[in-house]
Amino acid sequence: MMDFTCLGKTSIEPEQSDHAENTSDKPVLLGESEVAFLPTVPTGNRMASETSPYLRQHAGDPVHWQPWSEEVLQIARQMQRPILLSIGYSACHWCHVMQRESFQNREIAGLLNEHFISIKVDREERPDLDHIYQKAAVLLTGHGGWPLTAFLTPEAKPFLVGTYFPPQDRYGRLGFAAILQRIASLWEENREMLDKTAEEITAAMAGEAAPKGLQGFALPMGISIDSDVAAKVLEDAENRLLEFYDEGNGGFGTAPKFPSPGILEFFLQRSREAPILLEAAVNTLNHMADGGIYDQLGGGFHRYSTDDRWLIPHFEKMLYDNALLTQVYLAAYQLTGDQRYREVAEETLEYLLRDMRHACGAFFAAEDADSEGEEGKFYLWTRQEIMELLGDEAGEMVCTYYGIDQPGGAIDGASVLHRAVPPASLARQFDMNIDEISSSLQAAKLALRQRREHRARPARDEKIITAWNGMTVSALAKAGAVLQAPSYIEEAKAAASFCLTRLQGADGRLCRSFKEVPSPISGFLEDYAYFIAGLVDLYKAALEPFWLDAALNLVELAIQLFWSDSIGTFYNAEARGDLLFRPSISEDESYPSAVSIMARNLFYLQNLLSSGGRDKLDVLFNRYLDNMTANPWGFAGLLTVLDLAHRGLREFCVVEPAQGGADVEVLNLLQTAYLPDSMIYLWNTAAYRQGRFGELGLGKTAVDGKTTVYICTGGACLPPITDPAELRASI
């Protein structure tokens, strides 16, 4: 375990703020008993004392921003003031635009301060609130997004919800100032209409959030989905998703295009049964790796492409995209052996380790899209810049390779680098052999990246989010195993140790995030789900029981905190008094849903859990069978787990010979092969022979003094294998 003394406190209790005494522009935080006697509208901006970098970005706004808290909600109820709720995140381009245009506008701030209680929320800290009010946005407008701008009653019920609003009327949208004035008038003159609207919206939201037809009904446990039914659901999902596949450019749907790692993972996992899925996945991965959505100089992926050719990205970089896409490219490398996929995975991890890593091992949340007030400025190049840096001959070759000035690849005269021609074609065009081209391109890439480092970098959100670090632990651990690179496994251990040391309390509960100190916000289902998945992947890479034991403890705690027998699924948040209802979100959004990742954890750990993990997995499949059938796009994560369950869990129990030391060839074979339906156990320590691990090893011994592998599935094991060649044939 790493030494984390560089971070000071180890408790998850937040440190007390060293704020100065409250003055007229410093708000007084009222306790519940005081509110009843002295309801005072909060004044001053309280964002400076928050841990979220996004909230701190708003500390200089003239708006009297308040954090979401029960105290502030009570003040709103006492004062009977409407609430302006603004939800965003630090790397959100349009959040910054609305801040500059509206929240830093003193006229608009005056309207907000006079008529509303203004609450600012970081959606990465409070995904539960974001889920609830995004649902309202979808109900009212047909879509959500950020910034989310919601007007609420004092009871936190929404009556008007939108996303970005310009300060004045434009883009076909009513201006924000006019909206504020209109709502303030309606609140005074026709409050009943707004209250009635809020009640109707809240009822519709709660109706969609609650499982239809299951209120008060306990689902029977242990109902397995028929194998033929599962096969039909999976096949139909493949066909439905292929309808959205863009054969020419890769990806799904039209612009804007998102990477969709959940769908790509589903396709790769199913590709042995349906080769067309492998073709669709690798075509997409090729176009993405060649496109502007991929940072050709520094590695890593931007958030999404604004066009259908992956050329012009929205330039923010999110930890979760890069962690999940690394895993997808590693899987593609395992299935195809294509070195290009290995390179992309390694370059993406290099980016994370170089630019996104905390000194003590964990990873920051995001990098902004903007620098010096312009989106993408850090990443754009002109022909003149490249020619001046590299000279005429090398410059011309690099401009050709990266598509400088190519139609569709430029923004205001500057180009997004993308791989416009393959190296082999470039070699023919410039009369060079492939080795010369590769060497020249590598030297030019290094020179361009070094020059770029002198530019003003985009801002970095240095919040450490538990769920996203879990994804990164998975990416590093898988890379370490697949590429046989121990350094990646050590980095995964460092990140996991940070989470266990700094993001987990004495009671075992996780908190949501860390920024200088652990957040007081409790962890959500996704924090548990993704961190557990990271621990399982780290165990499979390191084969050290400590990580598996930590995963099992967290699974059982997550079941205790979030599972509901009455609705047959997980809630996404612990019960809280400040929520309109307790959300249960099963659909994939920017990444596979927490429900689907918990289902995957239950699948892998089903034979080790004492909490009926297999039964809960069956309940989840039955609970969401209709959803998977009707909406495979939104349930690709759970479909991936259904496919695993349809195959059945394979457990590879590796028993070392008495003299110790497992056959390296055997371990390498198991760890580098593409085995998504499998767990690996290395029987070499006392930790496996006791407690919850004990039953796994009953009757399993080394044969003839050799490393011996038992392949077990469905409660039965095949005859032991000692020959690596036979093992290779078996898997």
Q: Per-residue pLDDT averaged across 288-294, rounded?
A: 98
Question: How much is the pLDDT for 19?
Answer: 28
Could you tell me if 302 and 308 are in contact, meaning their C-beta atoms sit under 8 angstroms apart? no
Question: How much is the pLDDT for 205?
Answer: 85
pLDDT exceeds cutoff 60 at 730: yes
Pairing mode of beta strands 410-411, 569-570:
unpaired
pLDDT tens-digit profile of 125-150?
999 999 999 999 888 888 888 899 99
Q: Which residues have CB under 8 Å from 635's CB, separation 6+?
A: 237, 586, 587, 588, 596, 624, 627, 628
Could you tell me if 651 and 679 are in contact, meaning their C-beta atoms sit under 8 angstroms apart? yes
Could you tell me if 150 and 157 are in contact, meaning their C-beta atoms sit under 8 angstroms apart? no
Question: How much is the pLDDT for 39?
Answer: 53
Could you tell me if 404 and 418 are in contact, meaning their C-beta atoms sit under 8 angstroms apart? no
Closest by Cα among 359, 591, 308 to 475: 591
pLDDT tens-digit profile of 156-206?
999 999 988 989 876 556 789 999 999 999 999 999 999 999 999 999 887
φ/ψ of residue 470, rounded to 5: -60, -45
CA atoms within 13 A on the CB side of 671: 27
As a whole-number percent, the residues of the chain with pLDDT over 90 amount to: 74
pLDDT exceeds cutoff 70 at 660: yes
Question: How much is the pLDDT for 93?
Answer: 81
Is the pLDDT higher at 169 or at 507?
A: 507
Question: How much is the pLDDT for 408?
Answer: 79
Q: Per-residue pLDDT averaged across 405-421, rounded?
A: 89
Q: Which amino acid, residue 206?
A: A
- Helix, strand, or coil here: 313? strand
φ/ψ of residue 173, rounded to 5: -115, 145
- Helix, strand, or coil here: 308? coil
- Could you identify the residue written with the tokens 């295009």? 257
Question: How much is the pLDDT for 611?
Answer: 57
25 token code pair: 């522009």
Q: Per-residue pLDDT averaged across 339-357, rounded?
A: 98
Rg (Cα) of the chain, in Å, rounded?
27
How many other C-beta atoms lie within 10 A of the C-beta of residue 38? 11
Residue 687 pLDDT level (bands cut at 50, 70, 90): low
Residue 689 pLDDT level (bands cut at 50, 70, 90): low
Residue 273 pLDDT level (bands cut at 50, 70, 90): confident
Q: Per-residue pLDDT averaged across 256-283, rounded?
A: 96
Provide the mean pLDDT of the chain: 88
Q: Per-residue pLDDT averaged across 72-99, rounded?
A: 92
Sheet of 317-318, strand order: 317-318, 366-367, 460-461
Residue ranges covered by each domain of the chain: 1-23+215-243+466-647, 31-209, 379-454, 650-730
8 token code pair: 């000071």
Is the pLDDT higher at 211 or at 730?
A: 730
Measure the CA–CA gap between 107 and 114, rounded to whole angstroms: 11
Assess whether the region 31-209 and the region 650-730 belong to the same CATH fold.
yes
Question: How much is the pLDDT for 649?
Answer: 92
How many other C-beta atoms lie within 10 A of the C-beta of residue 49? 16
pLDDT exceeds cutoff 70 at 392: yes
Is the pLDDT higher at 633 or at 609?
A: 633
Pairing mode of beta strands 374-375, 370-371:
antiparallel
pLDDT exceeds cutoff 60 at 12: no
Question: How much is the pLDDT for 433?
Answer: 92
pLDDT tens-digit profile of 521-559?
999 999 999 999 999 999 999 999 999 999 999 999 999
Question: How much is the pLDDT for 438?
Answer: 93
pLDDT tens-digit profile of 211-228?
332 222 222 333 367 888
CATH architecture of the region 31-209: 3-Layer(aba) Sandwich (3.40)
Q: Which CATH number fits domain 650-730: 1.10.3470, 2.40.160, 1.20.120, 3.40.30?
A: 3.40.30
pLDDT exceeds cutoff 70 at 443: yes
639 token code pair: 């479909």
pLDDT tens-digit profile of 559-602?
999 999 999 999 999 988 888 888 998 999 999 999 999 999 99
Q: Which amino acid, residue 342?
A: R
